[in-house]
Each structure stands twice: as C-alpha cells, then as structure tokens.
Amino acid sequence: MIARIILGLWFAAVIILAFALPMSAHPSRWYELPVIPGLEEKARIVFFHVPAAWLSTVCFVASMVYGIRYLRSRSLESDTKSAVAAGLGFLFCLLATVTGAVWAKFSWGTFWNWDPRQTSIFALLLIYGAYFALRSAVEAEEKRATLAAVYTIVSAAIMPFFMFVVPRILASLHPQPVLSVQGKTEINTMMLALLLASFAGFTALSLWIWNIQVRIQRLELKQTPVFPGG
C-alpha cells in the first residue's frame, strides 16, 4: 500500500519536473536543463519515450527468458510469466511508437518515414502481434505454452539482425542515444537524474503490473479444473 503511494508520488514528481523545469542555453543553476540544438523543448519527450522503448525490449527479453524456463521445467507458471511480460512489452512498445511518431511529426514533419529506429520498433510490434496471434490460435494450455516459447526464442534470435542490418542500409535521423558509452556533453546532471528517475519509475511500475497480472493468472489457473468434466 505504502509502496503504491510512493510510486504514485514518484511518478507525479517526475511528470511535473519533466515539464516544469526551465531550459536555458547555458545552464548555471542546478535545476536548469540544457538546450539541445535542433531539439529545444521537444527534447522533453526523452523522459517518457526512452524508458518506454527500453522497457519494451526488456520485457521482450524477459518473455524469452521465461520461455526458455518453461521449455526446461514444463511448469505453466513460467509460461504465465512469459505471456504477461509479453503483454506489458506490447503496451510499452505501442507507447514508444506513438510518442515517437508524434515527436517525429513536429521534428521531422511526418509521423512515419521508415527511419531505422522506426523500422526496428515496427518489427518488434509485428513480433508481439504475431506472438499473441499464435497464443490465441492454440487451445490446449501446454501446447500453447510450448509453441509460444519456441516462437519468442526464434524471434529473439532474429532481433540482432535488425540492429545490425537496418541501420546500415538506411541512414538515421534519430537523435543519438543519450546514455551512450562515450559520455555525452549535451546532457547535464539534472537531466540525467530526471531520466534515471523516470527509468526507475517505469521499471517499478511495470514490475508491479507484472506481479499483479501473474497473481491473477495464477488464481485463474487454480479455478479451472485440470480435467474438464472429469
């Protein structure tokens, strides 16, 4: 209960700060955000778009890991966890796509232009879509779990190709990753702190939703008789 209130307050603070903090060309006071040339006020999307995109891939990996666990242990619990993670990942993937498209409309002048980043997130959306189409097409629980696990592993094996081939074939207009290894100068401490706070909030929120969903599914699993009519 207390954790829930803290999470709510945390997110409220992140949202207010993300929109309220002033931006200046030469941030001198601790609360000022730097102006990134070419992005200006539109840079504020980074606090929501980047964590969502990050979580959509993390959830995908989590779904794959629980898929592997299912294939090893054959316990439906793992399959439930895998499916719930995929559902969450799909939600965040949609959020990242939509916020990215709206941002692109104002930055690039069009909602969609097949930028490499857009192509790879489109592929991720397709994979999630195919995953749920597969799950809905199989009735028997154990068969469904096996097929879904196999499909996540196959598609996870394909993901590196998207990261490798797509950026090489098409030039990207997407802003560079802010948290890159080289250590960027464009971002200051306040911006980094807020971004990390948003990351923490998003991660805690998704863990919480995931936990609730898994518990609900577990109860439903208990309610349905294992041998119907028997």
Partner 1 sequence: MFVLGTTTIILFSIGGEGIGADVLSGMLWVVIFFSSMSGLSRTFVSEEERGTSLTLQLMATPAAVLGGKLLFNIVLASGLNAFVVILYFLLIAEFVLKTYSIFVLTIVMGSIGLAAAATIIAAIISKANTKGTLFPVLSLPILLPLLIAVIKLTSMAVEGVAFEEAMDEFQFLVAYIVVMVTVSYLLFDYIWKD
Pick 7 or 138: Cβ nearer partner 1:
138
By the rule CB under 8 A, 38 interacts with partner 1: no
Give the binding-site size for partner 1 (rule: CB under 8 A): 29
By the rule CB under 8 A, 149 interacts with partner 1: yes
State the binding string over 107-146 for partner 1 (x if CB under 8 A, else -): ----------------x--xx-xx--xx--xxx---x--x
By the rule CB under 8 A, 166 interacts with partner 1: yes
Burial class (CB in 10 A: 0-12, 13-18, 19+), 139: exposed
Among 10, 11, 162, 210, binds partner 1 (CB under 8 A): 162
34 DSSP β-pair partners: 24
* Nearest partner of 47 among 214, 206, 184, 200, judged by Cα: 200
Dihedral pair phi/psi, residue 162, rounded to 5°: -65, -40
By the rule CB under 8 A, 65 interacts with partner 1: no
Least Å distance between CB 159 and partner 1?
Answer: 9
* Nearest partner of 43 among 175, 197, 171, 172, judged by Cα: 175
* Separation of alpha carbons 141 and 61, rounded Å: 22
Least Å distance between CB 65 and partner 1?
Answer: 15
By the rule CB under 8 A, 91 interacts with partner 1: no
- C-alpha distances out from residue 130 to 123, 136, 167, 219, Å: 10, 10, 24, 27
Instruction: Give the count of beta carbons closer than 10 Å to the beta carbon of residue 170.
Output: 15
Least Å distance between CB 121 and partner 1?
Answer: 12
Query: Which residue ranges make up the site for partner 1 (CB under 8 A)?
Result: 71, 123, 126-127, 129-130, 133-134, 137-139, 143, 146-147, 149-151, 153-155, 157-158, 161-162, 164-166, 168-169
